């Protein structure tokens, strides 16, 4: 593989069942173990309240990756890791052992039945925006500057976990 084949992707991580922080660390280790994935930057872990769902608080983070996998290949890897952690999808926004969302992939736009890029609701979710801002504070999403989008989500609880 030549260096130009590496793409940048941002992945949101979340869990609210079991030991969420440990599950996120295990998911990060599984990503790092893949030969076509390199962790570039990781946000802090945050405790967040559920949005449009019920259940315990979540632990959320965002990781910036470099990968040679195409978007669908990376999605397959993310879903495989979710399955290994017992992810079930009984209904939309159900509590979960692990949720890995491909948020952005090297500026690409994609709208397919399995994947939409950029992630269609990330600009409305402080649990995505706050960790993204940790990594890339000047980031501009299609909907606007990350700091402006965060202000619009100020009513959503996002509390850093102790290191």
In the residue annotation, 87 being an active-site residue is answered as: yes
Checking phi first, is residue 93 left (phi over 0); if not, alpha (psi -120 to 50) or beta?
left
Q: Of 47, 64, 96, 125, which one is the catalytic site residue?
A: 96
Three-class HEC string of 101-153: EEEEECCCCEECCCCEECCCCHHHCHHHHHHHHHHCCCCEECCEEHHHHHHHC
Catalytic residue (choose from 47, 64, 99, 125): 99
Residues 64, 101, 125, 130: which is the catalytic one?
101
Q: Are 121 and 102 in contact (CB under 8 A)?
A: no
Distance of alpha carbon 14 from alpha carbon 72, whole angstroms: 20
Q: Which of 87, 121, 134, 151 is catalytic?
A: 87
Residue 99 annotated as catalytic: yes
92 part of the active site: no
Catalytic residue set: 87, 96, 99, 101
């Amino acid at each position: 593989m030549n260096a130009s084949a590496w793409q940048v992707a941002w992945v949101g991580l979340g869990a609210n069942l079991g030991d969420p922080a440990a599950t996120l660390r295990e998911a990060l280790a599984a990503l790092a173990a893949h030969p076509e994935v390199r962790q570039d930057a990781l946000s802090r872990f945050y405790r967040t309240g559920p949005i449009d769902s019920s259940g315990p608080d979540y632990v959320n983070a965002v990781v910036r990756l470099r990968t040679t996998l195409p978007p669908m290949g990376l999605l397959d890897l993310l879903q495989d890791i979710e399955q290994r952690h017992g992810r079930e999808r009984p209904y939309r926004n159900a509590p979960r052992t692990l949720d890995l969302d491909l948020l952005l992939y090297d500026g690409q736009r994609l709208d397919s039945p399995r994947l939409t890029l950029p992630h269609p609701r990330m600009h409305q979710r402080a649990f995505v925006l706050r960790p993204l801002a940790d990594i890339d504070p000047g980031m501009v999403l299609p909907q606007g500057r990350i700091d402006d989008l965060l202000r619009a989500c100020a009513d959503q609880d996002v509390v850093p976990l102790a290191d």
